[in-house]
Amino acid sequence: MINILKNTGFLTGCALVSLVSFLAVPAAVAQEESSSGTLLKRKGPEEVILENLHKARPEIKFGKPRPSPIKGLYQVQVPGGPILYVTPEGDKLIAGELLAIEEGGLVRVEDPYLIAERKKMVSSIDPKSTINFKPKGKAKAVVYVFTDVDCGYCRRLHSQMHTYNENGQQLPGYNDLGIEVRYLAYPRAGIPSPSADKLISAWCAKDKQDALTKLKAMEAVPNATCDNPVATHFQLGGEAGVSGTPALFFPDGKLIPGYLPPAELAKQLGI
C-alpha cells in the first residue's frame, strides 16, 4: 500500500504538521452584521469547515462534513485520500486511521455511515464493467478489488489467484478457495498516466483476463482504446475512500486497505 496521503499529493510524512498549521486560519465568522445592523444567518460548523478547507487547499474537492465517531469532531473524506477529523471551528484537523483502544489491542473503527455508503457503492457496480476471475463451480464469496498494474502488492495478489508456491508449500489460491475476484481499475498515478493507459488496454482487450494477467506479470500487451470504465472506476474509488492499491471491498461494505493472502481473505469472508 502506498502512503494514504501521497496518492492525491495531499500531504506526506511530516507535512501533516504543516497542513494543520496552515489550516489554523481564523474560523469563519459565526454571524455577520449587515449594513443596517441586522444579524445575518449564523453559519453552521459544516459550512465553516468547508470554507476553511477550501481556503487552505482550493484544488481539492472535499467531501461533505458530518459528525464523526469522535465526539466533538467532524469527518471529511478526501477523494483518493484520508478521512479528516476536523474541529467545529475548522481551524485544526487530524488525518489518518481511527482506532479504538480495546483490551488486548487496537481495533480499526468502522463508521456505520461509511459502511452503508460503501455497501451502496458495491451494489451499484455493474459486474460487466469489471474484469472477473471466477472459481470453478459456484463462488462462495465475491470481493471487489481496486487494482493497478504498477503496484507490487497488486501483482502479488494476482499471482495467488490459483494454486501457488510459498516456502516450498503448494497453497490454494483465491479461486481455489471459492473466492470470485472482481477487479476495478484504479491507476494510482491518476488519469492521464502510463498506468491508466495500461489499464485501458486491458479493459479494451479481446481477452481481458489474459491482458490483465500479462500486465501484472510485467509483460507488454498491445495498446488498445475503447469506451471503457477506467475513469469511472477511478472516481468511484476516490469517493469510496480508496487511497492505495489493492483495496478490497466486501458486499457488506467492509473495506480492507491492502493485500491479504488467500487463506486470510477467506477467513475474513467467513468461508
Which residues are known to be catalytic? Answer: 148, 151, 154, 188
Q: Which amino acid is at 91?
A: D
Q: Are 146 and 258 in contact (CB under 8 A)?
A: no
**Number of helical H runs and strand E runs in the chain:** 8, 13
**Interior/surface letters 26-40, b for 16+ CB within 10 angstroms, e for the rest:** ebbeeeeeeeeeeee
Q: Are 53 and 25 in contact (CB under 8 A)?
A: no
Which residue is listed with cell 475512500?
A: 241
d(CA 98, CA 70): 9
Residues in the chain: 271
**How many alpha carbons fall within 13 Å on the CB side of residue 9?**
6
CB atoms within 10 A of CB 19: 17
Q: Are 210 and 158 in contact (CB under 8 A)?
A: no
